[in-house]
Amino acid sequence: MTSWEFTGRELINCSCEYGCNCQFAGLPDKGYCHAVAGIQIEKGHYGDTRLDGLRLAAIFKWPGPIHEGNGEAIAFVDVNADEKQREALLKIMTGQDTDPFATMFAVFASTITRMSDPVFAEIDLQIDVDGRRGRIFVKDYIDTVGVPLVNKTTGAEVRAQIVLPDGFEYAVADVGSASSKTTGPLPVALTDSYAQFAQLHLNNHGVVRAA
């Protein structure tokens, strides 16, 4: 197994209402799960290959709960990545060189039955975790905008967090709202649905937690 590790930020938008039942061992509130993801790597490596500053994105569609499988996915890799970096990122994203079910990449990969060819493209990614704002844009494929939750009575921004001490993706995520439109092999349309903004620290064995 090749050793890998990275720190970074993510923005995820899915079809659930705010909070997302899946974060609490529940079932997707619409019966299916559609999701768009973007990850900004700050520092990282795969073996001797540096991953600093690279970006990832993905689109997922499951016809039912994620654990029931039959999902579809397409991965997007930063066009600035060289051949070794592309290979490394795709291995991480597809759950390779990772303990079984240790990361969201490994978990999701186990549920995908149709994986489209990866796309190497410019990924416009802006993620402000504390501000709960973000953007994922891949020309001809993804347009996602994330914003804070807003109190329906006062109009004030609302901050809520999800803490998962044993989670396989993050330790703490800030909850927001997002809308996404995707085109290409996996069309998705999401409006004002669940978004999570999180700091990531992952390696072969899962979430790296503070001692």
Q: For residues 34 and 65, give the distance between their C-alpha atoms in angstroms, rounded to a whole number.
A: 10
Asked whether the beta carbons of 97 and 110 are under 8 A apart, the reply is: no
Distances (CA, A) of 143 to 71, 172, 181, 183: 21, 25, 5, 9
Proportion of the chain above pLDDT 90, given as a percent? 99
Surface-to-core class of residue 189, CB atoms within 10 Å of its CB (0-12 exposed, 13-18 middle, 19+ buried): exposed
Model pLDDT for residues 41-59, shown as the tens digit of each residue: 999 999 999 999 999 999 9
- Whole-number Cα distances in Å, 110 to 126, 133, 153, 177: 29, 30, 43, 28
In angstroms and rounded to an integer, the radius of gyration of the C-alpha atoms of the chain is 16
pLDDT at 210: 79
Question: Domain extents for the chain?
Answer: 4-207
Q: Letter for the amino acid at 209?
A: R
Nearest CA to 169 among 50, 53, 14, 30? Answer: 14
Token couple for 205? 């064995």
Is residue 144 within 8 Å of residue 38, measured between CB atoms?
yes
Where the chain has pLDDT below 50, the residues are none
**Distance of alpha carbon 206 from the chain centroid:** 15
